[in-house]
Structure 1
């Protein structure tokens, strides 16, 4: 179940929101004037979202350090666009 709270609760009811985030292991969505403004999540939830990406970026950095091969910006974007176009046609 999605939990939506007004952003004022962050100031007024922080312990309650913190308990909700930790006990439900789900993010809490905050609103301001009826519009979404931010999402609160536990460090564990955030890590689950970002660890794989961070690991892949570390691998790419290491690969770049070990290789003399360099691509221009236009070549990189051409390759990315080509891969996106290929996946769209599937």
Structure 2
């Protein structure tokens, strides 16, 4: 279940929100005037999220290259690296 808090909680209960984010590795969603405004998460959780995003992007690039026939075999790549 998402942790949703009003914007005043970010100011008034910063340490509690920080502790929750670090211990759970989950974001806290902050609302402003009753609407979603921010997602707060620990730096570690953010870096993991970025890493997953980069991996997905690379996999998508590889699949796209395969569909376009822009792939090489392992032996072709090794041969090129060895200067053959």
**Gapped regions of structure 1 (runs ≥ 5):** 58-78, 84-90
Q: Which residue of 1 aligns with 2:51?
A: 51
Matches within 5 A, 1:6-85: 6-53=6-53
TM-score, structure 1 normalization: 0.56
Q: CA RMSD in A?
A: 2.5
| Pairwise CA distance, 1:24 | 1.2
Q: Deviations over 1:10-38 (max 9, x none)?
A: 11110011111111110000001110000
TM-score by length of 2: 0.60
Q: Distance in 2 between matches of 1:9 and 1:16?
A: 9
Q: After TM superposition, which residue ranges in structure 1, 4 or more long, deviate above 4 angstroms?
A: 52-57
**Structure 2 residues not aligned, in runs of 5+:** 59-63, 69-84
Structure number, greater radius of gyration: 2
Q: What is the aligned residue count?
A: 60
Structure 1 CA distance, aligned partners of 2:52 and 2:12?
Answer: 35
